[in-house]
Each structure stands twice: as structure tokens, then as C-alpha cells.
Amino acid sequence: MSNLKSVFVLLCLVAGLVSPALAQSDTASLRSLVDALAKGKYAETEQQIGALVATGDPAVAPALQALGAGDLYFRKSDAQVFIAKKNGKRFTLTDPLTLEAEGDAGKREIKKIKVNNKLRRVIRAALGSLTLMASDPNVRVAAAGAIFKAQDPAGIDALETALAAETDDNVRLAMEQAHAAAVLNSDLDEAQKLAAVETLSEMGNREALSLLIGVRSNSEGAVRDAATHAVEKIEKSIAAWNTAQNIWYGVSLGSVLLLAAIGLAITFGVMGVINMAHGEMVMIGAYTTFVVQEIIRTSAPGLFDYSLFIALPLAFLTAGLIGIAIERGVIRWLYGRPLETLLATWGISLILQQAVRSVFGPTNREVGNPDWMSGAFELGQMTITYNRMWIVVFALLVFAGLMLVLKKTPFGLYTRAVTQNRRMAASMGIRTPWIDALTFGLGSGIAGIAGVALSQIDNVSPNLGQGYIIDSFMVVVFGGVGNLWGTLVGAMTLGVVNKFLEPYAGAVLGKIFVLVFIILFIQKRPRGLFALKGRAVEA
Amino acid sequence: MKATSLLYLDGVSVTFDGFKALNELSLTIAPGEMRAIIGPNGAGKTTMMDVITGKTKPDRGEIYFDGAIDLTGEDEASIAEIGIGRKFQKPTVFESHTVRDNLELALKAPRGPFATLFHVISGRETKRIDDLLGLIRLSDRKHELAANLSHGQKQWLEIGMLLAQDPKLLLVDEPAAGMTDAETAETAELLKDIAQDHSVVVVEHDMEFVRSLGVRVTVLHEGSVLAEGSLDHVSANERVVEVYLGR
Amino acid sequence: MMTSFLFRAMDARAGVFLAIMAAVIILVPAGNLLVPHGSPFHVPTYAVTLMGKYLTYALLALAVDLVWGYCGILSLGHAAFFALGGYAMGMYLMRQIGTRGVYGDPTLPDFMVFLNWQELPWYWYGFDMFWFAALMVLLVPGLIAFVFGWFAFRSRVTGVYLSIITQALTYALLLAFFRNDMGFGGNNGLTDFKDILGFDIQADTTRAGLFAASGLALVLSYMICRSITRSKLGKVLVAVRDAESRIRFLGYRVEHYKLFVWTLSAMMAGVAGALYVPQVGIINPGEFAPANSIEVVIWVAVGGRGTLVGAVLGAVLVNFAKTWFTAALPEIWLFALGGLFVFVTLFLPKGILGTLNDGWSALRQRRNSSGQEDGTGGPRPQAKQSEDAPASTPPPVPAMSRAGASHPQPAE
């Protein structure tokens, strides 16, 4: 079924590419060949298909495709052949060569041209060889792919002819693989088959694997051994690629966790403030992106691809300022009372959620992906989507930037001084209240820009932040409080572990396992992976 | 040596992130002895207390109590039960309890949750608490919250709690810190009283106070013993003068 | 022993509380069942159920107060124990439906038939018997709390860390109970209950009975909590709260004490959940939501932690406000609740009852000291000495960290 579908896609592509050429062809002779399909039994139809292919004209492709899909009919009155699609009680007719509409017909006026499975195979192969010589290399690759899938020995000759003329290396490769597939399904001699197995084994993907498994069970002797060997080899390589893909998924999840947690690593890890409203800072960042995109949509649609870059500083400022307001208004009265801070900031998170809900409504808001965030590419046997890739890159950039700020700037120096020894820092002239407010603002601002990134992969709703708060705390606690590297390692470890558990346990159970694991881990190492040791910590 | 001692430390080392808080520390306290420990900041005095009372686990070394009991494997609670009481540098009493309740909690009695749940205070216990209140001069404040005591009174209450535990060995960290001269002198007397039927280790900065105790002194420096002997003897030691007294 | 144990709970304040509770337990059902409709003193059934619900919340708050107010363990996962108790009762009620379910299967609850399950999972065995379900109401939360606490307290996870992992605990349970294949009805939970102990669960008399049962459970739990907090064990708990490492050096095994109250408190929460479920008629995984647990904490904080009665008061007040707001001004409720969190922590750290207590004792002290100045008072001990000592006055520690949660006091 999926084979048919892909052939169909291919043919639409072919039809689109070749239609300009149609005008030059000898339409009349083609039409008589097409109309001939209306007559005769299966065996004759096969010959007629051969005749169509012999023209070498891609214009016959839609007709062949329709024939294979059972959409080719002839009109009883004049035996003319049409592509017919059912439309209500009547059929819409299309000319199979010009693809122009030809009105419609009742059910009794037309008759389907019947095909059997053998014919379908013939058609697929015919379509393949028809397009193997096309001028567009993409079409040639696709044609080779079709033969590969059909494994049709009938395509061997066409492929060999095409290969002799082929100059493009990629297309050659595809054709050789198709050739190998076809050879294995033919009654050619062992040496050729062994070479074919070798070709497929080099190919090394899932398609080659399933094909070779078929070969393994249908052949004997040296071919069978070679196929068995090749299957093992491919299975091994696919397993390795699977692992790589899982690691990638894990890194991708880890970078999301990192983004969500890194602001917390500052407010909780460095300052020791339990900010339960941290998730809401992320949410505010996401809503900032939404607002920016709305404004761009209505007033400057051309800027849409840059919307995220515009949103980043705005989200940082918005969330950062709200953070500073929270610190000045509430948290500074509660220093040294972590449990009270926890409760008060929880209250703030409720207020912020409800505020956003009142302004933007309780439902999800649509935040669009710019072009460069959409789509995916293949790396070996892995598929990597652009939005995930950019989020990984972005998370690492934010991490590196934050490290720079904390290690290399005077502000970072003051922050570390204040958190290590507040009284000493104060007596050296550092304005500790300012540093507190700014550090908290920094942590909140980073949560805000995390929100910009997360708006690309998550639903933007007032509850966005709630989903991240527990995970973020887990990451920070697991990695070790007060240690940004710990947060990085913690986030990546949890991400990867989660993704490796998922295939065995399912997403939810996997997550539960991770939570239980962390709960147990904290018992073992209450200060996290990268704990500071010594007397100072316990004071 | 080990068999006859009350407290025996041999080659004890503790490292915090590369910093050697204790470095091959060896120390022996005889039964009934009172010992003063002095040393500059960071000499490892408090870490030594932590190691003895189970708060910090030593990286290396042996710690034996009463000649036979290995303390390195025990936690704070069991070491307290074995018979070592500790008074902290910063007085830590239970501030939302009354003075009397503080003493009741410290009083030697079964320590399990169910024992305390069904505990009914006996006449003997009441008498013991009253005696202690008299000793630490807090009889007329026994119903006040410990939070309302002065700094010096808290120090005394803590000493009282230490006595209520009835330990064989008392570790007393800077008992005179933050006290007036009069209080300091009284504290010295109190400790001398206590030392008559307990072994006591006193960590102190105040030289006058140590002098008034008139006991053997151990000088710690960079986590190990620098000198030991009478106060006059160690005061004469050049290295001691150099690292501590001279500055 | 038990009577003398409970007897210790009695004093003037406990007396007032018990009298009020007795009046409520008698008058509310009476007002519903005996006073005719139309009379201004008639209590409508929905109000009985609503107040019954408040009482179960009050019991939950009491459980949280025991661990937080007295032992300094801020649990952000107590709703999990509440929900576990609720599920245990819900399973009993499901089994009571019998053939009256939509699919009419005599043993399998509807949702299992719907999921094409062929037989009852083993962990549903026994729940057709009330005594077994009642036992599980205590045992399941108790056991989970015990195991969790055993690990957590032994490795000395304290303060915020503990709060966060209790939150993770309830979150993990939330995720688990959402799964259909756990066998607890997944997303929809357990509902459509018909009767309890043979009584129709919708009947006014049953509702009144459940109300009275909730009231009695609250009173009994209060008595137990009060005897505990007034015993020597209670003093140890407060000492753990104020200076955990110090009490270790006195030879107390802090982890045993914590484990004891933690498990007991979880069982109380389980009972509360078990009484809650038949009154509201449903239990679903939403009860595990981390937000619920945090809300319970604010009830306690509003009423005054470490006062027991305050927890009851706070739970009733906040939930009454919630009922009123969500009906009248639903938009405002979260603002109000959020504001309450901030306001209480900043301006009312001791809660309503704690603040009243302080005011009361300040007043009494002033009266006493004025008596002394009349010359009737005794000598003022130690006053001279305190004035001499420079560090005599206690530093201005924020009131809460002294009386309140586990603000860790460094041991040195």
C-alpha cells in the first residue's frame, strides 16, 4: 500500500515536470496507444503497457499510474480512455495525456480497465524504466527507488542501459542499488546475486535490511550465507544509529530541561532562593514571543523570520523586570527562610498565571515557527528536525553566555562575592541588595528567553510553566546546587535517560522511573552530582 | 595507651575539597582528665570535635572511646548515648522551649520515640532538674523560654544540658565566648567543679580563661598537635609563639 | 495507658475546641434531618456535604500541621496520602456497585469492562469488604510514607530538598494514576458510587452520617495530635524543628522521630481522603496534583502552624472563601489565593491563631509586670546580669524562623 502511495507521489512529480514537453509529442499516436488499453485481456494489456513504455515518452506516466491505481476507465460509447474519479454519484473525467478536465459521466457510461497484481507490478516497473532516462536527476533517483521497491527483474535491462549513460554519482548509486534489488529477485546466476547482496549490504538502511531478510529466507547456498552475514551487519549498524538517534532525542530533551532549569540554577543554585514562580517566567517569555509575532503579523509580515530574534531581548527584559519586582517586593523580606520563600513565590505563580489567563484567555495560543525552524534533515540513518537542533544550539549558547557573565564580568564577580560571603561583600562596598535584585533578575530573564525557545515546541498556555517547574528543580538538585556545570550534566543525563527508558517503559512510566530515580538519588547524595564539600556547606 | 585512655585519637585526617582540616592528629585524654585545647583560627579545633562526635567522618585514622569503642562508625546519636556530650561554640539551646524543658530533653532517659511518647516525668527526674537549675543559676527562670535568656545564660544552660546527659566526657567549645569577665570567672569555677567527676575537653581562645582552669594544654596548628604541656610550658615553645601567641 | 495518654490532651483550649466540634457534629445533622424544610434553621443537604468536605480538609490540614508545625517537615506531597486513602475507599465503593453498573458486571468495575479486562487485578481483591478497605486506608498511605521517609530521613534530606522530593513523589503518583493500565480508572478515576455499608450514598441520612463521621475523625485525630505534641515526644519534635543537629548530639535519633510523625500524619491524611471520597462522590488523579498539596500548606499557614486548632481553622476559612469566590467571582479566586500566600508569609507569619496567642501572652505579661511594679512581685532575677552582658538581648531573628519551619540552625 505504501509502495503504491509512493509511486503515486512520484508520478505526480513526474507529471508536473514533464507536462511542458507534452505539446511536442506526437499526441495522436500516444492517444491511440492509450486507448488500446481499453481492449483485450490481461496478457494483451501487458503488451500494450510494453508498447507505451517503448515510446519512452514520460507523458504516458499518468495514464499508467491511473491504470495501476484502478482509476483508468473507458467510455462505452466511443472506447476513449479517461482517468475517472468518483465525485458523488458521477465520475469526473480527466484526459490521461493532457490532464485536462473532460466533463463527467454516469456510472453506467464508463467501465473500469481491470488490472491484476501481476499487471500492477509490470506497471510499476514500466513507470520506473520510463523515468530512468528523465533529464531531471531527482526523477531518475525516484525512478530507481521505485524499481528498488518493486524488486522487479523486468527493470534490470532498463537499469543497465541507464547506468551505462549515467554520470551523476548519486543517481548511479541509487540505480546500482535498484539493480541489485532487482537482480536478487531474478533468476540470474549466483555471482551476480552475491555482488548484489554486497551492494545492498553497503547500503545499510532499513529498506536494504528488509530486502535482505527476504533474500535470506528465499535463497540457498552462498547467497543465503552472504545475505545472513549482510543482515547481521546492517542490524548492527542500524542499532548503532538507533542509539545515536536516541541520544539525539535525549540531548534535545536535555537541552529543553537545561533551558528551563538554567535560570533556576542561578536563583536557587547560586542565591539559594526557592522560586516556585520560575515556570511562570518561562511562560511569560513564551507569551512575549506570541505578542511579538502578533504585532509582526499585523504590521510587518516581512519580519516574521526574525520574530524570535526580536522576542529574545524583549522576553529577557520582561521576565527580568518582573523578577526584579518580585525580588524587591517579596523575596528580599524572606531571605534565610527558604520554606516561606517557597510559599510566597508559589502564591506569585498563581497570580501570574491568572493574570495571563485573564489577558490572553485560558486556551493555547498559536506561536509560529519561522522557516528556518521548520523541516528536518537526514544525518546517516537519523532524522533531525531543525527546531530541535536550534534549541540544542541555543541552550548551549545560553549556558556558555551565562558562564561568561558569571566568570568574566564584574557583575558576575560581585554575585559570587555576595553569595559566598554577604557581610564581607557588603563591607567591601558592594551594594548587596542591588546585586540580589540583579541576580534574581538575571535568573528570571534567562527563564524568559527559555520561554521564547520553548514556545517553538510546546503549547503556549497559562499552564506552560507548571509543566516545567518540577523537572527544573529535579535537574538543579540532581546536578548539584550552586554548580552550573552540574546543571548542564544533570539536564543532559536526565534527558538521555528519559529517552532510553521510553521505548521499554513508555513515556509516562519512563518519567515516573526518572522521578523515582531522582528521589532515591537525592537520598544517596543529598547535595547532587557535583556537590560542594566541607563545613561551609552545612552552615 | 589506647586501653587505659578515655579518648584516643590516632592519625586522624579530614580533608575538605583539598583543604586538610585535620592532618594526622593524635591525642589522648585520660579518664578524669580535664584538657584545654587552644590554637589559632583554622587549626582544626572544631573539626576535631566534629570528628569525635560523629558529625564528620574521618578520611583516615582511629578514634576509640573508653579504650574499646570504635567511634568512627557511629553517628551523632549513638556517640551521645555512648557518653560523649558536646557544647557548641555558638550556644544552641532549644529556643521555643522553656529552660526546664531544655533540661528535661537532655536528661538521661530512653531516647526512642515510643519511650518519649509515653514518658511521664518522675520525681527523681524533677529533683535532678531542680538541682541542675540551681547549679547553673537559672532556678528562678525555669519557666521562661530559652530564647529570652542572655547569651551567657544560654551558655550556662547548655552546660547544664550537658550535665543532664551525664556523659563520661564533655566537649566544651568556647564556653566563655561573649561573656563578661565576671561570668567568665564563674564559668571557669563551674567547669572545675564539673571536672571533679567528669572528663572534660575545653576548646578556648581566651588565655586568661585557660590559665584560670590551670590544666594541661594542647596546641593545635594546621590540623595537628604542635605542643602539649602546661600553659607556661607551651607558652615558652617558640613555634607556638610564632603561630599563635606571638601574633 | 491509652486513656491517660489521651487525657494529657485535655486543657482549656482543647476543651473549647471539643465543645465547638461537639456542637457542630450534633447540630448540623440535626438541622438537616430534624428541622423541617422551610424553617430558617434547616440545613440543606448540599451544605451538610460541603461542610463535611471542609472537615475532611481540616483533618488533612491537621496532618500537615503535625509534621510541619511541630517537626519542621514541609510536606508538599500530603495530598498524595489523602488521595491514596481516597482511592482505597473509592475501590470499596466501586466494588459495592455490583451489577448496578452500566455494564452490569458483578465483579468488574465499569472502566475495566470498558477496557476489555477479563478479571479483577489482584490488588483489587478484598476491597469488597469494608474492614479491609478501612485497613488499607491506613496502611497504604502509611506504608508509602514509611518507605519514603525511611530513605529520606535516614539520609538526612531536609528543608527545601525534602519539600521538593515530596512534590516529586506526588507528581510521580499523579502520572501513574493517570495511566489506564494501572487499574484505577485512569483519567476518570472512580465514581458513580451507589452505597456505603449498605446505605444509599445519596440519602440525607447517609450524608449526615458521613458528616458526623468526619467530625469524629477530626476530633479523635486532634486528641491524638495534641497528646503527642504535649508529650515529651512533642518536645523532641519541636527541638528537631528548631535545631535538628543539636538534638542529635543529645542522643536522639532524629530520623526515628521524623519517621514516626511522618507516617502517622500520612495515615491521618489517608483517613481524611477516605471520608472525602464518599461525600464528593468521585476520586480521580487530579487529587494528586502538586498544587493541591501546596494549597494545604497555606491553610495551615493561615490558621497558624504549630497550633493544631489553627490548621482546622485555616482549612475551613480558606475553603469557605474558595467556595464563595468560585461561585461569585471565579476570575478573582486565584488572585486571592495567590495574594493570600504572599500576605500570610510576609505579614502574618504566625497565622491567625499564632498572632492571637502572641497578643494574648503579651497582654498577660504586661498585666503581670505592672503587678510587680506595685511592689507585689518577687525579685527580678538575673536582670542585673543581663544588662551587664553585651550580647544579652536575643538578636532580632525574624519571628518565624524561631517558632517556624526548619530554618536550619548551624551547629556551630
Please write the tens of the pLDDT for every residue from A142-174.
778 877 877 777 677 777 777 777 778 888 888
Q: In chain C, positions 208-247, which contact chain B (CB-CB < 8 Å)? A: 228, 231-233, 235-236, 238-239, 242-243, 245-247
What pLDDT digit, counting tens, does each position of B222-236 carry? Answer: 888 888 888 888 888
Please report, as a single letter, which amino acid is at residue B140: D
Partners of B202 in the β-ladder: B36, B172
Euclidean distance between CA atoms B150 and C380, whole angstroms: 14
Closest residue in C to A354 (Cα) is C334
Closest residue in B to A532 (Cα) is B17
What pLDDT digit, counting tens, does each position of C246-287 carry? Answer: 899 999 999 999 999 999 999 999 999 999 999 999 999 999
What pLDDT digit, counting tens, does each position of C177-218 carry? Answer: 998 888 898 889 998 898 899 899 989 999 999 999 999 999
Partners of A75 in the β-ladder: A110
For residues C381, C387, C388, C390, the Cα torsion angle rounded to the nearest 10 degrees is 130
Q: Provide long-range contacts, Cβ within 8 A and 24+ apart, for B122-127.
A: none
Longest dimension (CA), chain A: 104
Q: Is residue C198 part of a domain?
A: yes
Euclidean distance between CA atoms C179 and C291, whole angstroms: 20
Cα-flanking dihedrals φ and ψ of residue A83, to 5°? -90, 125
Least Cα distance to C191 among C181, C182, C202, C199 occurs for: C202
User: Out of A341, A346, A519, whose CB is closest to C165?
Assistant: A519
Interchain contact, A534 vs B16, CB within 8 Å: yes
First to last CA, chain A: 69
Euclidean distance between CA atoms A337 and C409, whole angstroms: 11
Tell me which of A129-138, A168-177, C273-282, C370-379 is least confident. Answer: C370-379
Neighbours of A428 (CB within 10 A): 10
How far A37 CA sits from the closest chain C CA (Å)?
Answer: 52
Interchain contact, B21 vs A535, CB within 8 Å: yes
User: Out of B93, B152, B173, whose CB is closest to C389?
Assistant: B152
The answer to whether residue A238 scores a pLDDT higher than 80 is: yes
Ramachandran region, residue C98 (left: φ > 0; alpha: ψ -120 to 50; beta: rest): left
Interchain contact, A532 vs B17, CB within 8 Å: yes
Angle between helices A190-203 and A221-264 (to 10 degrees): 0
pLDDT for A156: 78
User: How many contacts does A have with B, using Cβ atoms within 8 A?
Assistant: 10
pLDDT for A401: 92
The answer to whether residue C382 scores a pLDDT higher than 80 is: no
Angle between helices A206-218 and A169-184 (to 10 degrees): 20
Interchain contact, A340 vs C345, CB within 8 Å: yes
B221 Cα distance to chain centroid: 19
For A296, the 3-state DSSP assignment is helix
The answer to whether residue A402 scores a pLDDT higher than 60 is: yes
- Total number of domains constituting chain C: 1
Q: In chain B, positions 188-247, which contact chain C (CB-CB < 8 Å)? A: none
Contacts of residue A534 in chain B, CB cutoff 8 Å? 16-17, 19
Cα-flanking dihedrals φ and ψ of residue B202, to 5°? -115, 125
In Å, what is the CA distance from A208 to each residue of A2, A153, A283, A417? Answer: 16, 17, 46, 61
C294 touches A: beta carbon within 8 Å: yes
Tell me which of A218-222, C30-34, C309-313 is least confident. Answer: A218-222
The answer to whether residue C331 scores a pLDDT higher than 90 is: no
pLDDT for A211: 75
Name the range with the highest mean pLDDT among A118-132, A188-202, B140-154: B140-154
Q: Write down the domain spans for chain A.
A: 2-126, 132-219, 252-398+430-508
% chain A with pLDDT above 70: 92
Average pLDDT, integer, range B163-192: 86
C257 touches B: beta carbon within 8 Å: yes
Query: What are A409's three cell numbers?
Result: 564580568
Angle, alpha carbons A522-A524-A529 (nearest 5°): 65
Q: Is residue C393 part of a domain?
A: no
Interchain contact, C175 vs A538, CB within 8 Å: no
pLDDT for C375: 41
Euclidean distance between CA atoms B157 and C141, whole angstroms: 41
Q: Is residue C303 part of a domain?
A: yes
Contacts of residue B18 in chain A, CB cutoff 8 Å? none
Q: Is residue C384 part of a domain?
A: no
**Beta strand segments in chain B, E:** 7-16, 19-29, 34-38, 60-65, 69-70, 84-87, 169-173, 199-203, 216-221, 224-229
B85 touches C: beta carbon within 8 Å: yes
Q: Is residue C10 part of a domain?
A: yes
Euclidean distance between CA atoms B41 and B36, whole angstroms: 16
Closest residue in B to C256 (Cα) is B113
Q: Which chains touch C (3 or more CB pairs under 8 A)?
A: A, B
Neighbours of C200 (CB within 10 A): 12
pLDDT for B4: 83
The answer to whether residue C397 scores a pLDDT higher than 70 is: no
% chain A with pLDDT above 90: 18
Q: Is residue C280 part of a domain?
A: yes
The answer to whether residue A311 scores a pLDDT higher than 70 is: yes
Q: How confident is the model at residue A2 (pLDDT cuts 50, 70, 90)?
A: very low
Least Cα distance to C310 among C356, C276, C265, C345 occurs for: C356
How far A539 CA sits from the closest chain B CA (Å)?
Answer: 12
The answer to whether residue B24 scores a pLDDT higher than 70 is: yes
A62 vs A299 pLDDT, higher one: A299
Q: Is residue C387 part of a domain?
A: no
For residue C53, the enclosing domain spans 2-364
What pLDDT digit, counting tens, does each position of A490-511 carry? Answer: 999 988 988 888 877 777 788 8
Interchain contact, C148 vs A519, CB within 8 Å: yes
Q: Is residue C380 part of a domain?
A: no
pLDDT for C316: 95
Euclidean distance between CA atoms B65 and B74, whole angstroms: 11
Euclidean distance between CA atoms A401 and C301, whole angstroms: 40
Q: In chain B, positions 18-57, which contact chain C (CB-CB < 8 Å)? A: 46, 53, 55
The contact set of B with A (CB < 8 A) is 16-17, 19, 21, 46-47
Please report, as a single letter, which amino acid is at residue A535: R
The answer to whether residue C3 scores a pLDDT higher than 70 is: no
The answer to whether residue B152 scores a pLDDT higher than 80 is: yes
Cα-flanking dihedrals φ and ψ of residue A158, to 5°? -60, -45
The answer to whether residue C104 scores a pLDDT higher than 60 is: yes
